[in-house]
Structure 1
Amino acid sequence: MAPLTPTRLAGLSGAARGGVAGLAGAGTGAVAQFLTVVLVTRGVGRETAGLFFAATALCLTVAAVLRLDAGNGLVYFVARSRPSGHRHTSGHVRAALVPVASLSLATGAAVILTTSDPALRVLAVALPAVACSGVVVSATRGFGSMRPTVLLDGVLQPVAQLLLVGAVVLAGRDSVPLLATAWALPYLPVLLLASVWLRRRLPRTPYLPGTARDLWRHTWPRSLAAGIQAVFQRLDVVIVALLAGPAEAAVYTAATRFKIVGQLAGQGLAQATQPRLVRALAEGDLPRARELYQSATLWLVLLTWPVWLGYAALAPWLLGAVFGDGYTGGAPVAFVLAATMMLATACGMADVVLTSAGHTGSSLANLVAAVATAVALDLLLIPSMGSLGAALGWAGGTAVKNLLPLWHIHRLYGLRPFGTHSLTALNPRRVT
């Protein structure tokens, strides 16, 4: 095992600081999004709440598909171009944003022309901002800075959504289009502010032929994977609304709202660690990659397992107390959620490691298997079991999604989520 040199320790310390910043933003966003759901479930009827949750889930799913995973592609290329002073970064940003903006504008226009639903029309107008803001914010992380992600994606957007949606609810307006408008508006300032931050740091260099080809040759497998991932994350709410009704979709959304805690905690750590993993694996520094992976996994378990155990224990009382009496039937969903998220966090950022090593095709195949499992179980179980069937379908897909990449990185690189460096992560004298 390679020694922990001062340079390596400095890198781990930077990852730890970035992880703390990412978790701070993720925690703020999780609380704001959770409170938004509480306000909606308590302030409007279950039918309206279910329609609102299904509509916003559909918008986020489409936006994530249209992003083509260009954000993570930019993180990869911007981080790798650091030794050359980011000479070609502006060309990569342009190559990423043009297709995303074009596709989202075309899709939004098509929705407006083909539907009469006012809520869907509102979200169609917002779709370009929703899609492009994620790409621009992701690009800023390639420069090694977590500040735009924390302040814009973690604080400004969810807190503004909480305030605006809360204002609609407190005004007594039981209207899905108004709720959708309030939810969508914050994406515009996030896009504008992130663009200003990025513009100030981009070198003014000419666009080189082949830049787009290089970017999308690396990113296209992840583009498919990101679209499938988006379907996996949110389509269950839409399927529940279609097969079991909006009221059941509202119960499912409320009971699974706590899953954002684990997802955002993992996202905060992944956002801080991914650029360092890319550099370590590109340089063939497997010991450092092992340190980063095991340290992040341990912190993810320590931060989230108490939440899942507490949620499983308190769910029968908590759902009714927080969301209202009509939501106590979601307790079985909460049990399934807690057990599944504990398994997922114990696997750590296995898929991030796999993609950072360049195995985007394997990651895509894993996601296809996960989505196929989840959708098959949803279609089989939701008609008879409602929200519990959706939870079991999601659990099956989540198990496949985490265990397959874990097997891949262990077979290819001998990486395990726990080991010697798990203890290193707990010793502040070793990482400062």
Structure 2
Amino acid sequence: MSVLGTRLPTGRVARGGIAGLAAAGGGAASQFLIVLLVTRSLDPGAAGAFFTATALCLMLAGILRLDAGNGLIYALARPRDEHTARAVVWAALAPVVACSALAAVTVTILDAELAALTGVPDAVWPVLAAALPAVVLADVLVAATRGLGSMRPTLLLDGLARPASQLLLVAVGVLTGASLPMTTAAWALSAVPATVLAAWWLGRRLPGPAALPLTWDREATASFWRYTGPRSVASAIQAVFQRLDIVIVAVLAGPAPAAVYTAATRFKVVGQLANQGLTQAVQPHLVRAIADGDLARARRLYQTTTMWLVVLTWPIWLGYAALAPWLLPLFGPSYADGTAIALVLSGTMVVATACGMVDVVLIASGHTAASLANTGCAVAVTVVADVLLVPSHGALGAALGWSAGVLVKNALPLVQISRRYGLLPFGRHSAGALRLRRSVA
């Protein structure tokens, strides 16, 4: 069956979903173990400084990606001639590289100001600035490989090599008593080989010879950024939304409460990465289904993945809510007071998971401006709630602010796709979602 055919066997989506979940699982396990290592090896103040610095690095990377990875998935998943496919890749990468280099220089210059604002030592910031372009490009290039229909680079690089090397390097740093800048450098270093390998794989698999002359394709560039431009802003806001809570706690309450908040909310990565793993596998197929006007197939994909998310993540959230008083002391005695944060996290993620990948469906249908507005509303709600609640309630106030933002971020697109396309997260396809022998279309 052609990859652009009108029928999509569930087995193909399932295999892609399993690969995406494996990659997400590797990342989740690595992040959890890194948090465990850091909290057990460093005092809460130093641990909070590490988490604040890495959160800001990932926030910046999310902004600087300009959502070019998702744009390339959308562009490369559609039929292209040899010249246009390569022109689109260069059109996506050029502004990403330029913005990343400029941001790296800016962070290096403003290291003293960042240290005064966050409490993170100024020697940490030049280290993260040097690695920032590689962190950005690794994500964009790995995403682009999925646009060519392969989950293998995502599984091998994002699921295995990068998380394992990051964990190993951070472990060596904290166990040998390395300084905070050196430990932070160890955390960032794994992005460099991931960038090189993803670029090599993409160069070999793009249509046409690698020596195809590079010319500026104005039409391809304009088409790419017309789709990706609004989404770039939404992606930047989303990157801020994902990490802002840690930074706000550090700024308003100090690095030590930021460490407690990070430890108590670390399990949210499990659900986010499960969603990410399924999204990586399903997103190209959703784009094709909606581009073909096949709402029936889009509905089946949406309801199937929602059911998978519920089955995979609800036991984790409910288990975490029940076991939090015993799990949180694993991070150290200073982290035992995070049970209320864990309960807020678990309840919020149960509701969010039941909505499914609503924003992905909205984006796949071409409504990137609506996605931007929704994410902006969610960030605004989070910031207002955090500013009001963190000074008096500390880490718990940040958890409540994050929860309010997550609920807004899921409710708005759910209303929009249900009104425009009649798509709901549950329906007649939900009961048979896990029967792999059935066809999705």
1:189 aligns with 2:193: yes
**1:140-177: CA deviations, max 9, x gaps?**
0001101111111122111111100001111123x320
* Correspondent of 2:283 among 267, 274, 278: 274
Where does residue 287 of structure 1 map in the other structure? 296
Task: Give the partner amino acid of 1:368.
Answer: G
* Correspondent of 1:165 among 164, 170, 187: 170
Q: Indicate conservation of the 8 Å contact 2:230/2:369, yes or no.
A: yes
Matched position secondary structure for 1:210: helix
Paired with 1:378 and 1:217, the residues of 2 have a C-alpha distance of: 34
Q: Indicate conservation of the 8 Å contact 1:382/1:388, yes or no.
A: yes
Where does residue 90 of structure 1 map in the other structure? 86
Task: Give the partner amino acid of 2:190.
Answer: P
Q: Which runs of 5+ in 1 are unaligned?
A: 1-6
Where does residue 122 of structure 1 map in the other structure? 127
* Correspondent of 1:325 among 300, 314, 333: 333
Q: Indicate conservation of the 8 Å contact 1:425/1:431, yes or no.
A: no
**1:316-364: CA deviations, max 9, x gaps?**
11100x2011101111100000000011100001000000000001101
Q: Indicate conservation of the 8 Å contact 1:9/1:430, yes or no.
A: no
State the TM-score, normalizing by the size of structure 1.
0.96
Q: Indicate conservation of the 8 Å contact 2:24/2:273, yes or no.
A: yes
Paired with 1:8 and 1:345, the residues of 2 have a C-alpha distance of: 28
State the 1:114 CA deviation: 2.8
Task: Give the partner amino acid of 1:92.
Answer: V
Task: Give the partner amino acid of 2:328.
Answer: L
- Aligned residue pair count: 422
Matched position secondary structure for 1:424: coil
Paired with 2:436 and 2:106, the residues of 1 have a C-alpha distance of: 54
Deviation beyond 3 Å, 4+ runs, structure 1? 7-11, 84-87, 204-207
State the 1:9 CA deviation: 5.8
* Correspondent of 2:232 among 223, 231, 237: 223
Task: Give the partner amino acid of 2:71.
Answer: G
1:99 aligns with 2:95: yes
What is the correspondence of 1:287-326 to structure 2 with a 5 Å cutoff?
A: 287-320=296-329, 322-326=330-334
Q: Indicate conservation of the 8 Å contact 1:168/1:179, yes or no.
A: yes
Q: Which runs of 5+ in 2 are unaligned?
A: 113-121
Task: Give the partner amino acid of 1:224.
Answer: V
Paired with 1:8 and 1:218, the residues of 2 have a C-alpha distance of: 24
1:379 aligns with 2:387: yes
State the 1:431 CA deviation: 4.4
Matched position secondary structure for 1:42: helix
Paired with 1:76 and 1:9, the residues of 2 have a C-alpha distance of: 19
Paired with 1:324 and 1:42, the residues of 2 have a C-alpha distance of: 6
Matched position secondary structure for 2:293: coil
State the 1:213 CA deviation: 1.2
What is the correspondence of 1:136-175 to structure 2 with a 5 Å cutoff?
A: 136-173=141-178, 175=179
Paired with 1:9 and 1:43, the residues of 2 have a C-alpha distance of: 52
* Correspondent of 2:10 among 12, 30, 46: 12
Where does residue 433 of structure 2 map in the other structure? 425
Where does residue 136 of structure 2 map in the other structure? 131
- Which stretch of structure 1 is more off in the superposition, 103-112 or 202-211? 202-211
Q: Indicate conservation of the 8 Å contact 1:78/1:86, yes or no.
A: no
Paired with 2:266 and 2:252, the residues of 1 have a C-alpha distance of: 20
Paired with 1:168 and 1:313, the residues of 2 have a C-alpha distance of: 34
State the 1:428 CA deviation: 2.8
What is the correspondence of 1:225-244 to structure 2 with a 5 Å cutoff?
A: 225-244=234-253
Task: Give the partner amino acid of 2:29.
Answer: V
Q: Indicate conservation of the 8 Å contact 1:366/1:405, yes or no.
A: yes
State the 1:107 CA deviation: 1.1
**1:114-143: CA deviations, max 9, x gaps?**
324110110001111011111111100001
Question: What RMSD over aligned residues (CA atoms) do the two structures have, in Å?
Answer: 1.3
Where does residue 3 of structure 1 map in the other structure? none
Where does residue 115 of structure 2 map in the other structure? none
Task: Give the partner amino acid of 2:379.
Answer: V
Where does residue 42 of structure 1 map in the other structure? 40
Where does residue 30 of structure 1 map in the other structure? 28
Paired with 2:421 and 2:82, the residues of 1 have a C-alpha distance of: 30
1:109 aligns with 2:117: no
Q: Indicate conservation of the 8 Å contact 1:315/1:334, yes or no.
A: yes
Where does residue 117 of structure 2 map in the other structure? none
Paired with 2:86 and 2:149, the residues of 1 have a C-alpha distance of: 16
State the 1:88 CA deviation: 1.4
Task: Give the partner amino acid of 1:299.
Answer: W
State the TM-score, normalizing by the size of structure 2.
0.94
Where does residue 412 of structure 1 map in the other structure? 420
What is the correspondence of 1:56-95 to structure 2 with a 5 Å cutoff?
A: 56-81=54-79, 84=80, 87-95=83-91
State the 1:46 CA deviation: 0.5
